[in-house]
Amino acid sequence: MVVGSYTVLVFDHRMYTMDIPINESDFPNSNAQSNKRRRKKSMVWEHFTIETVDADCIRACCNQCKKSFAYISGSKLAGTSHLKRHIVLGICPVSRHSQGKDQLSPYTPVSRTNLSENGTNLPRKRVRAANRTASIYFDGDNCSYELSKMIIQHEYPLHMVEHSRFIDFTRALQPQFSINSVNEMQEQIKGIYFREKQRILDLLSGISGRISLTVDLWTSNQSLTYVLLTGHFVDYNWKLQRRVFSFIMVPFPDSGMAFNHAIAACLTDWSSEDTLFSVTLDRSFSNETARENIRNLLSIKNSLILNGQLLIKSCYARTLRSLAQDAIGSMRETIDKVRHSVKYVKTSGAREERFIKLKQQLQVPSTKNLMIDDSTNWNSTYQMLIASSELKEVFSCLDTFDPDYRSTPSMDEWGQVETLCGCLKTFYEAANILTSPIYPTTNVFFHEVWKIHIELIHASASHDFFVRTLTKPLQERFTKYWEDCNLVLAVAVVLDPRFKMKLVEFSFSRIYGSDSDTWVKIVYEGLQELYLEYVVQSLPNPTFIDEQNDPLVKTEVPQEDGLFLSNGDGFPEFDVYLSDIVGGLHMKSELDQYFEESLLPRVQDFDVLGWWKGNKLKYPVLSRLASDVLSIPLSTVPPDSVFDTRDRKIDSYRSSFRPTTLQAVICAKDWLQYESSEVSFAIPPKVSSAIVKTES
């Protein structure tokens, strides 16, 4: 019972008095008055009405859904927290679907410090309402912005904002949040696209080097063709950057000039018409006319140097994928036996337990676990075969313990699986360098490519008939890839101060034998040619003066011997001649000096671009050349698709977007992954003149 401002508790006919002030505002029908003034009622009573059941029971009824809640039972006060939650958290079905604006402020849960060990509310002193909860600012625009980024990053459909369960979920989190419509969401995504695009333009404004493009083909279920163009470049801080530039629909892909138009439009859009250095294609460009037209475009934007190899015709990752698929396909029947054996064990708990027990009895030392492969990722099949071949003894004995198991591969077939795994291991390790979030510089690819090439050459000449049959077709296909890009790869590794020409000389002697000197010479001359191009570009443009109209030009009087003297000592042409000679000596000495210096020690995590950054004053021309060559991309696929055997497709829903919306979604997804790392550090102290043009 209540006595004055104290609570009196009666237990076992004895009375205890607790010094707990009672907030009379929790009793809406109470007539008790404070000495000064009556306190304001709790705000929940705007939504609830008190109902007296009997003398010992008072309940609170929701004005909207008419549900009744406990409030006072005898001497026990239930409080108002559960009443607040009913309204604020959207538990009330009528309030949840109401569009009115008379909703309560966001609910702030009770601190755990005010809870007892069993979770019940402890008696505590009341404080004024103004100090009871902290004010929390709700930013609806920021919520919409984060929702747009979520849709972009995870490729959710735009119309999810109209799904009833999603609307209920967001209102349960925050009733004040007003979700944008599909059209409003499209505009917000475009806004993100233009904002992020301006950041990249600012980044590009600070680079002194050139840009290399990869061109990747995508298709849709409606047989539409798209081109994804990705730019690779070295930024102001000598870090290799990779950004999607454009996603363009090509209406007539069979046209020889269609892809030229897409590349030209991309370069114009990014104000990079004069900075194109190389183009890397996917092998899907089977149209030789289209390839030649792209080569011609590249020769216009950039001199046709390195024997035209700055147009790389095949994607590194897809070349390895194709070789792996061909190797796996050549043993389809044997692999199907292994796959069926693995599924037989893994799809039953009892069979897997029996398999593990048999492995322990046979004392097989393998630590591999069986796994069912995913046929859409060739590395998954490779890992399945590796684990299975190490457990072949268990499979060979399994039929004696399990009469239902009938698909045991023979020992000869297991031997062939091991040979195949050795071949796939080479491809797997070579492809694995692309799975890092940091894209590798071009010099790294040389080690992997020449290693595959020499191993396939040796394997195709093996005395073992099966090894020779398996690897001969692979060797012939990879030789074409090697011939297409070996010069670019060799020049890139020469610009690695740990190897220079030495690794080229060593590897070419293994590949070409007695003809290696000829091929080494081609690499050296190609580097010389490329270097001279950069020397010419670095020369200042000559200034021509009209001597007749320039008042600062003085005409000298001819002497008796017929010689003309001008500008001091009268040797202007001789000065030009000397500058040419000095310039020529400088050009020669910069490259020669690089070769004359000792090789750097081979360390694992060597930053080749960082080394050139530190030596750019010593090698001003060669360092610019190195930044461009070392940023040439060899692969057109992102890290998460290196082992994917499927072609890149746009689903029916996304292909229904307008081209501008589709490009905004595809590009912004790539750009947002760099949002956390500020790009301002990579921009020199100047303002970009390139401004994003928004579409009306």
pLDDT, tens only, 99-127: 443 333 343 343 433 444 444 444 444 44
Query: Distances from the Cα of 396 to the Cαs of 355, 361, 388, 401, 407, in angstroms?
Result: 11, 14, 11, 10, 10
Q: CA-CA distance, 315 to 409, in Å (whole number)?
A: 35
Q: Tell me the C-alpha distance between 480 and 449, whole Å.
A: 12
Helices in 139-287 by DSSP H: which ranges? Answer: 140-154, 164-173, 182-204, 258-269
Give tens-digit pLDDT for 354-384: 999 999 999 999 888 999 999 899 999 999 9
Structure confidence by residue, pLDDT tens digits, 603-624: 888 999 999 999 999 999 999 9
18-21 contact pairs (CB < 8 A, 24+): 18/123, 20/123, 20/125, 21/125, 21/126
Residue whose entry in the numeric block shows the structure tokens 């940023």: 631
pLDDT in tens, 472-521: 999 999 999 999 899 999 999 999 999 999 999 999 999 999 999 999 99
Instruction: Report DSSP state, residue 121.
Output: B
Residue 588 pLDDT class (50, 70, 90 cuts): low
**Percentage of the chain with pLDDT > 70?**
75
Question: pLDDT tens, 445-457?
Answer: 999 999 999 999 9
User: What is the DSSP code string of 348-370?
Assistant: -HHHHHHHHHHHHHHT-------
Confidence of residue 41 (pLDDT cuts 50, 70, 90): low
Strands (E), 299-455: 311-312
Residue carrying the six token digits 């091991």? 418
- pLDDT-derived band at 9 (thresholds 50, 70, 90) equals very low
Question: Considering only CA atoms, which of 484, 458, 451 is closest in space to residue 472?
Answer: 458
Residue 69: count of CB within 10 angstroms of its CB: 15
Tokens representing 256? 């020889």
Who's near 32: CB < 8 A, 6+ residues apart? 24
Distance CA(75)–CA(650), nearest Å, equals 67
Contact (CB, 8 A) for 240 and 263? no
First to last CA, the chain: 72
Distance CA 40, CA 44 (A): 12
What's the token pair of residue 71?
Answer: 């409030």
Report which DSSP code applies to 619: S
Average pLDDT, the chain: 80
- 256-296, pLDDT tens digit by residue? 788 889 999 999 999 988 889 999 988 766 677 777 778 87
Predicted pLDDT of residue 258: 84
Query: Do the bridges between strand 14-18 and strand 48-54 make them parallel or antiparallel, or are there none, so unpaired?
Result: unpaired
The label of the residue with tokens 């003085």 reads 554
pLDDT at 436 over 60: yes
Higher pLDDT, 215 or 681: 215
Rounded CA gap, 44 and 79, in Å?
11
The answer to whether 667 touches 228, Cβ cutoff 8 Å, is no
The 10s digit of each residue's pLDDT in 509-547 is: 999 999 999 999 999 999 998 998 888 888 776 544 444
Query: Is residue 262 a contact partner of residue 271, using CB atoms and an 8 Å limit?
Result: no
Of the pLDDT bands very low, low, confident and very high (cuts 50, 70, 90), residue 569 is low
Indicate if the pLDDT at residue 30 is higher than 60. no
- Given a contact cutoff of 8 angstroms between Cβ atoms, the answer to whether 663 and 657 are in contact is no
Range from 132-136, 194-198, 436-440 that averages highest in pLDDT: 194-198
118-132, 168-182, 285-299, 672-686 — which is least confidently predicted? 118-132
682: part of which helix (H) or strand (E)?
Answer: none
Strand partners, 7: 2, 18
Cα–Cα dist 558/565, whole Å:
7
In sequence order, the β-bridge partners of residue 682 are: none
pLDDT of residue 562: 42
